[in-house]
Each structure stands twice: as C-alpha cells, then as structure tokens.
A and B are shown apart, each in its own frame.
Chain A
Amino acid sequence: AQSVTQPDIHITVSEGASLELRCNYSYGATPYLFWYVQSPGQGLQLLLKYFSGDTLVQGIKGFEAEFKRSQSSFNLRKPSVHWSDAAEYFCAVGAQPRGGKLIFGQGTELSVKP
C-alpha cells in the first residue's frame, strides 16, 4: 500500500538559515509527489509537485524539492527561511492515476527563531 513518512514531527530553524524537510514514500510505480503548507486557520496550499522529468522542481515562495528514486525521497528545501514560513508542512503522494486521492504524511511543524 502507498504511504508517506515524514520523520521529523517538529523542526526549529533560525531566520535566514537553510531548511530541509524530509519525506519518504512507498509506491511501486513512478509516484506523483506533492508538498503542501498549512498555516493556522488556513487551508492547505500547494507548494510544488513532481510528476515526471527533471527531478529538481521549483515551487512557490522560494521552495524547491528533489525527487530521488533510489532513496524513495522527496525532500523540501529552502535556502533562507523567513519568519512567515512558520507553518505545518505536508508531503503527499497521488494514490493512483486519474483517481485524485492524495495520501498525506503526518506533517512537520516548522518553527522559525528570530
């Protein structure tokens, strides 16, 4: 069965420091992978997606992610974190072609120190 693991429940980084959030997936075929961000009281916002092609994908708000098939990973990165990036981040995999069901990890809460 497909699954997504986010090993880090909570991460704290200093403002201006770089960020990497880890995501590992379990899926037999080429996965459709996503990162979403959820701020308090807000819905989930899509940061970026990977379907195929270039394994380094760029997203909104300066985020990028790299798909590594050999490691079954899709880690999210940002070179310099801003205080407004504090939020919950979810990695997700598309469960089946054309179906649209997303399977989410349990999330990583990001705190940003001034």
Chain B
Amino acid sequence: DTGVSQDPRHKITKRGQNVTFRCDPISEHNRLYWYRQTLGQGPEFLTYFQNEAQLEKSRLLSDRFSAERPKGSFSTLEIQRTEQGDSAMYLCASSFGDRVYEQYFGPGTRLTVT
C-alpha cells in the first residue's frame, strides 16, 4: 500500500486554460475527499465521494469545477477556464468504512495560474 497519490505534483497553466488533476486513493478506501489550500491557510473542503457517488459539494466549488469518481476508485478534479484565484494546492484524501474522519492525505497538486 503506497498511500494516496496525486498527479501531477505541479501544474503551471495560463489563465483561461482547462486543467485536470488525478487522485488515486488507498485501495479499498471507499471515501475520497478534495480540499484546496491557499498560501498561509488551512485546507478548505471542496467535495467528497462515497464510492462513485458525490455526496457533498462546497460553495467553493463553482460551476467551473467538476469532480468525478467514475468507478469508485480514482478521482479527477477538472477546472475549466482557470483564473489566477484558482492558484492553490489541491489535496486529496481517502478514508475507509465508518472511519470517515481518519483521512489519509496525498502530497497535493500545486496549481499556478499565470
């Protein structure tokens, strides 16, 4: 078990471009979470999945953001028409069963929008 992995680790994009991030949770973890962390702040919840169902979305997740977990395993987070304010670290976490708060975090994807 290699833990939660995220790809890419760094992404630089120009404003207006679309980007997609991938998260592979720990195998057999049925819940997957996305958080966003800006400089000097703690992570902020974006959304979470139980298996393939997206159960909650934060108001931070504007219409330009979409997340999927099509087969209940890996997840993708897409940002369309990126803006400079989207620059942040995007963190993925997973948990198993009813231990929903025991979340294991990946290393994150750092997005820079120029």
Contacts and interface: CB of A to CB of B under 8 A. Distances in A.
Q: Do these two chains interact?
A: yes
Contacts of B100: 94, 98-100
B79 interface: no
Interface stretch (B12-20, B40-48, B70-78): B40-48
Interface of B: 4, 31, 33, 35, 40-45, 48, 55-56, 91, 93, 95, 98, 100-108
B54 to A, nearest CB: 13
B17 to A, nearest CB: 25
A100 B33 contact: yes
A101 B102 contact: no
A34 B44 contact: no
Q: Is the interface of A mostly helix, strand, loop or mixed?
A: strand
Contact of A101 (B40, B42, B45): B45
24 contacts: A4-B42, A32-B101, A36-B105, A43-B91, A43-B107, A44-B43, A44-B91, A45-B105, A46-B103, A49-B101, A90-B43, A94-B100, A94-B101, A95-B45, A98-B100, A100-B103, A101-B33, A101-B45, A102-B33, A102-B35, A102-B101, A104-B42, A106-B40, A106-B42
Contacts of B56: 99, 101
Interface residues of A, number: 25
Contacts of A46: 102-104
Contacts of B4: 43
A108 to B, nearest CB: 10
Nearest to B48: A100
Contacts of B41: 106-107
Given A94-B101, A100-B33, A102-B103, A43 B108 contact: yes
